Amino acid sequence: MSEALNLAEIFKAKSQQQAKIIEQEVESVTTQLNSFMKAKLKESEAIIKQGMQSLDTSNEQLLTTLAKHQTDMSTDLDTYMSNVQAHTVKHLNLFAKDLEKTIEAYTQYIAELIEQREDRIAEVIKSEMKKWLIAASFGALGMLIMGLILGALLVNKYSKPIYINQEIQPQPQIQQPIDYGRR
């Protein structure tokens, strides 16, 4: 059971480590995005100030510059999201592999425990069966001996010769002939 707890602790530590790594990468990418956005916002502010200061700049140039700036921001945001997704997927895949290995190790450990317990149960049953077999054999032998003794006693008691007293024998009856003329 302590191995299972050790595996759980290792799994917990790896999970926390993976979470910290993902959190650090997200923070790093978020910081980069924040600084990029600030720079772009400053550029936007400078562009707007410049546009307001020089009214001779055409409205089309201002719109083109702002559209380009918006496209750049959209592209950077898409890149940021792709990077975060890629890092997250990568770390989640590693986490899934670690989880799979941990579950596999735990399953192997449980299978070994079950096998050990089955072996112990088989040994106990075998030793108990030997004891019962010996006891049953002695019991059967004892019953056989007691049966033989009881049988011998009964035969001895009831097999005494019977003497018939011939003096008291009844007289044989003679059958009278049947007279068929009388009815």
Question: Is residue 148, in this structure, part of any structural domain at all?
Answer: no
Overall pTM surpassing 0.75 (yes/no): no
pLDDT tens figures, 9-24 = 887 788 888 888 888 8
Helices 2-53 and 59-158 cross at an angle (nearest 10°) of: 170
- Look at residue 170 and tell me if it is in a domain: no
How far from the centroid of its chain's Cα atoms is residue 17's Cα?
26
Residue 7 lies in a domain: yes
Q: Which of 40, 82, 87, 44 is nearest to 62 (CA)?
A: 44
Identify which of 40, 25, 45, 23 has the alpha carbon closest to the alpha carbon of residue 77.
40
Give every CB contact of residue 173 below 8 A, 6+ residues apart in sequence: none
Q: Per-residue confidence at 159, pLDDT binned at 50, 70, 90?
A: confident
Predicted local distance difference test score (pLDDT) of residue 135? 86
For 32-66, write each residue's pLDDT tens digit.
Answer: 888 888 888 888 888 877 767 776 667 677 778 88
- Residue 38 lies in domain: 2-121
Note whether residue 133 is domain-resident: no
Average pLDDT over residues 97-126: 88
Residue 161 lies in a domain: no
User: What pLDDT is stored for residue 171 in this prediction?
Assistant: 60
Q: Tell me, what's the pLDDT at 163?
A: 60
Answer yes or no: is 87 within a domain: yes
Residues 6+ apart with CB under 8 A from 7: 102, 105, 106, 109
Q: Is 167 part of a structural domain of the chain?
A: no
How many separate domains does the chain show? 1
Domain presence at residue 126? no
